[in-house]
Chain A
């Protein structure tokens, strides 16, 4: 089975922010560097299979993020320019090397625009879902679930446990209240939908979107287990795209490569 992964800007940026200067015992990196590099390394290792995909917009945006961050840091802290210039060069070169291993797919902008309308509507719908899911509603769902799964004797404690689980399971949705979806997330999903449709003109393609963004990828607990997938699941249902964290996408790819 053919599989592709569209790599989100945030994965490219995270895998580019690192300074490793052995001589001075300096090794610092982005919080998501390791999980992002897991996927980038797999793509590099199997470059002949053309797994990793980006678009011109993703590529430009990744560079822009680094450049804007440097200019913001300059505004905030001032100081000498040399270190900032070196930081920008080191991170941008790393990004450039990652991009060399990706296929840059052209897109038909008018088609992507059509998909953008759909992804915007999709996220507007998610916002409405979120508004319906207030704490009172979640509590009554938990109570109902406890009623059918816990004996009367333990119902009170059962309800509390269910309540915790339900609140957690809706977290991807309820966090939209204070972290609204950005237009960029809608664009990347629109491009992913366009590309999936484009690839499938030939044959079915398992299509992933690797992202470090919880608006798209599942919310995980400390052990890396998915606890909230409300939006992720809807994306898969609506667009046929599996969104996940880069290390988890990489693990799935490794499994399917081993099966091939």
Chain B
């Protein structure tokens, strides 16, 4: 099974983004050419997440973990893109470059890991490894204000389904949900 977007297609533009951000951090000026580059990586991440959404050649758990990983990469990059676009208006120049620089290595490592493990060989251990890597990414995003807002998180979500899923999760951990 071949993942639609290859590793270099993602990692090369990500490397260019990283160089641009380094440059912005040292000059203290925002370079908006970073925005279309981020759009390219986001679009590739979306292609991959759609692939995993419907993948049937692997277990559901593997497909979900891969999907979840690409969705998180997409979400974090979309926050980063929004912040660069609005940096001047929000007077976030040059903090946004420093904060992007704090998150990009985790994005890079997460993507590398997703390509490093052949999907058919993913077992419990590899799934844990991917989820652990995502924790690092989300923590870096949270610390650097690159974490998606609730609205961004829920953009494609059926809220009723989310509620049912949360109830299922609660049941699995041995409790029930109550109304707030």
Task: List the B side residues contacting A78 at CB < 8 Å.
Answer: 60
Stretch at the interface among B9-17, B90-98, B147-155: B147-155
Task: List the B side residues contacting A77 at CB < 8 Å.
Answer: 165, 168
8 Å CB contact of A14 from B68, B138, B175: B175
How far is A66 from B127 in the complex, measured between Cα atoms in Å?
A: 14
Number of A-B contacts (CB under 8 A): 135
8 Å CB contact of B180 from A29, A80, A86: A29
8 Å CB contact of B169 from A21, A70, A97: A70
Contact between B135 and A63, CB atoms less than 8 A apart: yes
Number of B interface residues, CB 8 Å? 46
How far is A80 from B75 in the complex, measured between Cα atoms in Å?
A: 18
Main secondary structure of the interface of A (DSSP, over half): helix
- Given the known A-B contacts A82-B156, A85-B71, are A29 and B178 also in contact in the complex, defined by CB atoms under 8 Å? yes
Contact bitstring B154-165, A, C-beta under 8 A = 1, else 0: 101111011111
Stretch at the interface among A48-56, A88-96, A129-137: A88-96
Verify if B67 is at the interface (C-beta below 8 Å from A): yes
- Given the known A-B contacts A89-B153, A90-B150, are A83 and B165 also in contact in the complex, defined by CB atoms under 8 Å? yes
Closest B residue to A31 by CB, please name it.
B175
CB distance from B72 to the nearest CB of A (A): 7
Contact between B71 and A28, CB atoms less than 8 A apart: no
Contact between B142 and A19, CB atoms less than 8 A apart: no
Contact between B157 and A83, CB atoms less than 8 A apart: yes
Among A27, A80, A91, residue most surrounded by chain B Cβ atoms (within 10 Å) = A80
Verify if A65 is at the interface (C-beta below 8 Å from B): yes
Contact between B63 and A81, CB atoms less than 8 A apart: yes
Closest B residue to A24 by CB, please name it.
B159
Task: List the B side residues contacting A68 at CB < 8 Å.
Answer: 172
CB distance from A86 to the nearest CB of B (A): 5
How far is A84 from B176 in the complex, measured between Cα atoms in Å?
A: 17
- Given the known A-B contacts A75-B61, A78-B60, are A32 and B175 also in contact in the complex, defined by CB atoms under 8 Å? yes
Verify if A26 is at the interface (C-beta below 8 Å from B): yes
Contact between B161 and A73, CB atoms less than 8 A apart: no
How far is A78 from B168 in the complex, measured between Cα atoms in Å?
A: 11
Closest B residue to A63 by CB, please name it.
B135
Verify if A145 is at the interface (C-beta below 8 Å from B): no
Closest B residue to A77 by CB, please name it.
B168
Can you give 5 contacting A-B residue pairs, CB < 8 Å?
A24-B159, A26-B159, A70-B169, A86-B162, A93-B147
Shortest 6 CB-CB distances between A and B: which pairs? A27-B180, A69-B172, A73-B168, A83-B161, A83-B162, A28-B177
If A28-B177, A31-B177, A93-B142 are given as contacts, then 15 extra A-B residue pairs at C-beta distance below 8 Å, sorted by A number, are A17-B170, A19-B166, A27-B179, A28-B179, A68-B172, A71-B61, A74-B61, A74-B64, A79-B161, A80-B53, A81-B71, A85-B71, A86-B153, A90-B150, A97-B142
